[in-house]
Amino acid sequence: MKLILKLFSVFFIWGSLTLPAFALDLVYSDFLGKAIRGYDPVAYFTQSKPVKGDSDFTYRWNDAKWYFSSAENREAFVKNPEKFAPQYGGYCAWAVSKGYTAKIDPNAWNIHDGKLYLNYSKSVQVTWQQDIPGNIVNGDKNWPKLLAE
Report the pLDDT averaged over residues 18-27: 57
Collect contacts of 38-41 with beta carbons under 8 A, ≥24 apart: 38/67, 39/67, 39/106, 40/67, 40/68, 40/69, 40/70, 40/73, 41/66, 41/68, 41/77, 41/84, 41/85, 41/86, 41/116
Ordered by start, the domain boundaries in the chain are 22-148
What pLDDT, on a 0 to 100 scale, did the predictor assign at position 29? 85
Residue 84 β-bridge partners: none
Q: How far apart are CA 149 and CA 111, in angstroms?
A: 27
Q: How far apart are CA 35 and CA 60, in angstroms?
A: 9
Tens of pLDDT, residues 46-62: 999 999 999 999 999 99
Instruction: Give yes or no for a contact between 53 and 68, defined as CB atoms under 8 angstroms apart.
Output: yes
Angle at 90 between CA 45 and CA 128, to 5 degrees: 80
Return the minimum-mean-pLDDT range out of 25-34, 75-84, 101-110, 116-125: 25-34
Which stretches of 25-130 are assigned E, i.e. beta strand?
A: 54-61, 64-68, 105-112, 115-119
